[in-house]
Amino acid sequence: MESRKSFLLRMDPELWKELEAWAHTELRSVNGQIEYLLKQAVQKRKRDNAAPQDPAD
């Protein structure tokens, strides 16, 4: 099994407070919340890039 990648992330303290409160309401750790949000963003980007382009654009 592949191990998880660790890295240092610096962020604005106010953003941290917002993420911490959000994570608490969804019963996640802040780390878990950040990973969840990043996964959602990656999936959305994949869907958006896979959508057929309108030739009129």
Quick check: is 17 in a domain?
yes
| 3-class secondary structure per residue, 5-54 | CCCCCCCCHHHHHHHHHHHHHCCCCHHHHHHHHHHHHHHHHHHHHHCCCC
Position 57 scores a pLDDT of 60
Quick check: is 31 in a domain?
yes
Quick check: is 41 in a domain?
yes
Position 2 scores a pLDDT of 82
Quick check: is 4 in a domain?
no
Rg of the chain in Å (alpha carbons): 16
Position 43 scores a pLDDT of 96
Task: Tally the domains of the chain.
Answer: 1
pLDDT by 10s per residue, the chain, length 57: 789 899 999 999 999 999 999 999 999 999 999 999 999 999 999 999 997 777 676
- Domain with 40 in it: 13-45
Quick check: is 5 in a domain?
no
Q: How far from the centroid of its chain's Cα atoms is residue 57's Cα?
A: 29
Question: pTM for the whole thing?
Answer: 0.77
Quick check: is 8 in a domain?
no
